[in-house]
Amino acid sequence: MARFSRAHNKSAASPLQPSKGIGSLIFHSNSPAISVRDSRRWKKPPTLRCGRAGNRWHRGGGLADAPEDGGSYDLVVVGGGIAGTAAAISAARNGLPVALIQDRPVLGGNGSSEVRVWPEGKTRQAPFPHVGEIVDELVPAKGRGDGHAKGGAIYADERKLAVVRAEKRITLLTEQRVTGVVADHEVAADGKMGSSNLWNVLDVADPVQVLKCKDKDALSLAIHEGAAAVPFPRCPWAVDLSTKPFPRRSPAGGKPAKNLRQDLGAWFWESGCDRDPVTEIEYIRDLNLRAMYGAWDTLKNVDKLYPNHRLGWAAYIAGKRESRRLLGDMVLTGKDFREGTPFPDGCFPCSWHIDIHTPDPAFDKGHPKGDEFTPTFTHGKEFTYKGPCWAPYRTLYSRNISNLFMAGRDISVNREGLGPVRVMKTCGMMGEIVGQAAALASRHHTTPRGVYQNHLAELLAMMARPGK
């Protein structure tokens, strides 16, 4: 059993620090120490700590010198994106007590109303049509016009929370961040493209698009319907794009937006090329915001376009496309997808193309290297494959930390291999499998690797069952 303690202090420095830039790390019982900090408050943060190495404790900041007991769990899921959330549900439905630790108030990660990326990937594919059922409980079917950077409600935050809260075996810890894990292994940070802040604009001349504010206080949007033109102040702190091309700027390089509300702040506002997504995520996020405001400033004040439009919404939480990947017993590659390599432990279906982003040469001139913010992506026949391709279970656990599962964009793939696996519904199905494998590991007192070596047939049988 992994033992948790509620603490009042920061963790000891740890060689392994799952932090803002990583997907879901999932620790099975006998976990190394994990310490968790309340991400809402800086002073007196309640923190959790688990594991047998739990006594390396710092005093400081007037905080208590002993941890409070936070309970015992068979599985600790760090990160409540679609992947981590599905893992927690699957494990709980298979009988395990689970802690799900999420540093935001909502679940879903990039697929939440905070980031507003639309979850893709085909679920419920043959020959295992039940794999993906939990994902489909969490994510509503895509409606007409649904997609990136739309109104917050379509990302269904409440729905995800309700599904988790209905599981009695899950202890949900929102607004808590894991700040350290004591382990013996170094992790190399390898930054790649990228992180993103999606945004949208709306037309104030169209009453349907404008939020109605009854209270005319300082925080109201103070939009008077009928007064259509809205000015926008110059932004000296933004990236100066007045003489540079950027997507959807016409005629300097981009195509004119056909649907301004939908097209302008889409997936291509993305940066972080080769910057460390863990230690530099604030810089990357701020660069995105500066680029976005620079673009809107240029469109409104230099190109004199869109007089009736104002910024409608912008993500202040950066969505991540790539981050650290951990090595498992197998490293899945782009070649495996192209050649359709069959795996005896194929356990989650991949359907997205080999989609890798790099800075777009059409837009990077004049920006410092590493500070580009508009990507292009791999496309064409050589980046497609005959799908769905069932990816191996051996990508979902660590090769050298015996009780660590991975699910999400942190799994064991090379960079090309990440392209097909990282879409959110596919990540969610990894979580479903991890939850099942964790239950098997508990039942047979074995490790994630032991499940592959000795209980694969049982895992495949579980995958064939509905709802778990």
Interacting residues with ligand FAD (CB under 6 A): 18-20, 22-24, 78-84, 101-104, 109-110, 117-121, 177-178, 196, 267, 270, 319-321, 408-409, 422-424, 427
Long-range contacts of 132-137 (CB under 8 A, 24+ apart): 132/349, 132/425, 132/428, 132/429, 132/432, 133/432, 133/466, 133/467, 134/86, 134/89, 134/90, 134/428, 134/431, 134/432, 134/467, 134/468, 135/82, 135/86, 135/425, 135/428, 135/429, 135/432, 137/89, 137/163
Closest to ligand FAD by CB, 308 or 378: 378
Least separation in angstroms between CB 46 and ligand FAD? 14
Least separation in angstroms between CB 374 and ligand FAD? 11
Closest to ligand FAD by CB, 67 or 119: 119
Least separation in angstroms between CB 97 and ligand FAD? 19
Least separation in angstroms between CB 94 and ligand FAD? 20
Least separation in angstroms between CB 453 and ligand FAD? 26
Closest to ligand FAD by CB, 203 or 359: 359
Least separation in angstroms between CB 132 and ligand FAD? 13
Closest to ligand FAD by CB, 165 or 234: 165
Can you tell me the distance from the alpha carbon of 305 to that of 303, in angstroms, rounded to the nearest whole number? 5
Q: Which of 443, 436, 456, 441 is nearest to 132 (CA)?
A: 436
Can you tell me the distance from the alpha carbon of 134 to that of 428, in angstroms, rounded to the nearest whole number? 8
Closest to ligand FAD by CB, 203 or 371: 371
Least separation in angstroms between CB 181 and ligand FAD? 9
Least separation in angstroms between CB 197 and ligand FAD? 8
Least separation in angstroms between CB 359 and ligand FAD? 14
Closest to ligand FAD by CB, 84 or 417: 84
Cβ pair 34, 71 in contact under 8 A? no
Closest to ligand FAD by CB, 204 or 278: 278
Closest to ligand FAD by CB, 118 or 363: 118
Closest to ligand FAD by CB, 122 or 338: 122
Least separation in angstroms between CB 441 and ligand FAD? 21
Closest to ligand FAD by CB, 203 or 420: 420
Q: Cα 249 vs. chain centroid, distance in angstroms?
A: 29
